[in-house]
Amino acid sequence: MFTLLFESKLKPNVTSADTPPMQKRDSEWINLFEKYISKVNDTCVFMYKDHHYSTSKSIKVPDDKRFLISTDDKKFLISTDAKCKFTECTCSFHAIIYSNGELIIKFKGSICHSPSEQRARPIRGTSRRSIAEKLTSGSSPDQLRLKELGHLTDNNRKFGNYNLVGSSPHVFRKIRSEAKTSLMLDKDLSVSLEKIKEEQSQEINAGKSIPGYLQTITICPLRLILFTEGGLVLWNKVGGNVPVSWDATGGIVMSRGKRIFYYELTISNISTPSITTKNLSGPSFPVTSMLSNTHKTLDLVHWLQDFELAYRKLFGFNSQFPKPPIVHSDGALVFQQAALRFFNGDLTISTYLKRCWTIVNKTATKEDLRKTLVHSCLAHFVKNLKHQAVKHYSKQKVSSVSFIFNVYFDCFQVPFALWIMSLLINSNSIEEMAGIWEHVCTVLLSPTQNSSYSISISCLSNAADNMNKDPNKDNFIIKNVKVDSKGVCRYPTTFNQV
Residues contributing to the site for Zn ion (CB under 5 A): 44, 84, 86, 89, 91, 111
User: Please, which residue, 105 or 275, has the CB nearer to Zn ion?
Assistant: 105
Length reported for the chain: 498
CB of 91 to Zn ion, least distance (A): 4
Q: How far is the CB of 45 from Zn ion (least distance, A)?
A: 7
Least distance between Zn ion and beta carbon 111 (Å): 5
Q: How far is the CB of 25 from Zn ion (least distance, A)?
A: 24
DSSP classification of residue 57: G
> Nearer Cβ to Zn ion, position 44 or 423?
44
Amino acid letter for position 179: A
We find the least distance from the C-beta atom of residue 83 to Zn ion, in angstroms, to be 9
In terms of CB distance, is 111 or 270 closer to Zn ion?
111
DSSP 8-49: HHHHHHHHHHH-SSS-PPP-HHHHHHHHHHHHH-SS--EEEE
313-319: list long-range contacts, CB under 8 Å, 24+ apart: 313/209, 313/210, 314/209, 314/210, 314/229, 314/232, 314/233, 314/236, 315/232, 315/236
Strands (E), 24-174: 46-53, 76-84, 92-98, 103-108
In terms of CB distance, is 159 or 227 closer to Zn ion? Answer: 159
CB-nearer residue toward Zn ion: 84 or 135: 84
Minimum CB–partner distance for residue 41 and Zn ion (Å): 8
> β-strand 244-249 against 223-227: which pairing, if any?
unpaired
Under DSSP, is residue 464 helix (H, G, I), strand (E, B) or coil?
helix
Residue 117 CB, shortest distance to Zn ion, in Å, is 10
Instruction: Specify burial of residue 154 (Cβ count, 10 A radius: 0-12, 13-18, 19+).
Output: exposed
Q: Which is nearer to Zn ion, 64 or 154 (CB)?
A: 154
Of 121 and 128, nearer to Zn ion (C-beta) is 121
Torsion of the alpha carbons at 144, 147, 151 and 156, rounded to the nearest 10: 70
